[in-house]
């Protein structure tokens, strides 16, 4: 069954969101093929306002020593939301004094390239990445998705069925962003990725949603009970397989 495609976050916005969400990254020599033997290891990471990653290795750690002697480009790999497997940021590092941690420099990555792995491995122009902003709902998205998966699956199934996918058997909430909710839908015919848009378009915060929908997303229920999911419009964001 065909559905209209609905807008979602742009690739630069998805990339900025992946960096904002990340607590740790894997840093390696950019000259080594991904997954090669020269991976330096995991390191804490933060995002600067302009999107540059700030690496925060423990003082005296192997990663800190490796960064201190790293003359070339590094590769910073972060988790990314499906259909991508990771976000890969490549650039050169320079020491950056970490506030409140005397003698323990952080390392700022000046970006040369931004790309996703998986999902066709799309590249993102560095200037577009720096100009974008993380999705405004990312700080609460994980908790809401967990809540929906464990408390409101039956309502989501009914909502998806009501919008044309009558053979839906199970639903997994996969992504929440300012445009709406993305679901993985298991049907008797296969698997599809479905996007349910917010009724009035993209939002800047949960406060912009209708009260009934906001209540359904943020309630503290322990089991399944009613919500306002019917306010969203269901559309397929990717074709089903299987």
Domains of the chain are 11-131 (2.30.110.10), 138-241 (3.20.180.10)
3-state secondary structure of 78: strand
Region of 218 (left: φ > 0; alpha: ψ -120 to 50; beta: rest) is alpha
Please write down the long-range contacts of 90-94, taking CB distance under 8 Å and 24 or more positions apart. 90/30, 90/114, 91/52, 93/55, 93/67
Return the beta strands (E) in the chain as ranges: 24-29, 39-47, 53-56, 73-79, 86-96, 106-117, 123-124, 168-177, 180-187, 190-197, 233-241
> How many residues are there in the chain?
242
Tens of pLDDT, residues 113-171: 999 998 788 999 999 999 999 999 999 999 999 989 888 889 889 988 988 888 999 99
- The pLDDT score that the predictor gives to residue 200 is 82
Please report the pLDDT score of residue 234 as a whole number: 38
| Pick from 49-58, 78-87, 193-202, 229-238: least confident | 229-238
| Average pLDDT value for the chain | 83
Prediction pTM value: 0.80
Whole-number Å distance between alpha carbons of 184 and 192: 6
- Across 36-167, the runs of DSSP E, i.e. the strands, are 39-47, 53-56, 73-79, 86-96, 106-117, 123-124
Give the tens place of pLDDT for each residue, 3-28: 334 578 999 999 999 999 999 999 99
Give mean pLDDT, residues 85-108.
82
């Amino acid at each position: 069954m065909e559905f209209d495609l609905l807008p979602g976050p742009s690739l630069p916005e998805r990339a900025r969101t992946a960096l904002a969400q990340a607590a740790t990254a894997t840093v390696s020599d950019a000259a080594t093929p991904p997954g090669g033997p020269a991976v330096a290891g995991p390191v804490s990471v933060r995002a600067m306002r302009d999107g540059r990653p700030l690496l925060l290795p423990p003082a005296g750690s192997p990663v800190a020593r490796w960064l201190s002697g790293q003359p070339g480009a590094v590769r910073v790999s972060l988790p990314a939301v499906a259909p991508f497997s990771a976000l890969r940021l490549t650039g050169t590092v320079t020491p950056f004094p970490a506030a409140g941690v005397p003698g323990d420099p952080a390392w700022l990555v000046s970006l040369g390239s931004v790309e996703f792995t998986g999902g066709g491995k799309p590249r993102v122009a560095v200037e577009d990445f720096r100009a974008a902003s993380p999705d405004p709902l990312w700080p609460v998205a994980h908790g809401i998705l967990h809540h929906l998966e464990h408390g409101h699956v039956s309502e989501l199934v009914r909502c998806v069925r009501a919008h044309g996918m009558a053979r839906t058997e199970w639903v997994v909430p996969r992504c929440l962003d300012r445009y709406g909710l993305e679901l993985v839908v298991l049907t008797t015919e296969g698997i599809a990725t479905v996007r349910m848009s917010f009724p009035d378009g993209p939002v800047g915060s949960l406060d912009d949603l209708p009260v009934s929908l906001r209540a359904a997303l943020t309630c503290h229920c322990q089991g399944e009970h009613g919500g306002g999911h019917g306010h969203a419009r269901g559309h397929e964001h990717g074709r089903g397989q299987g």
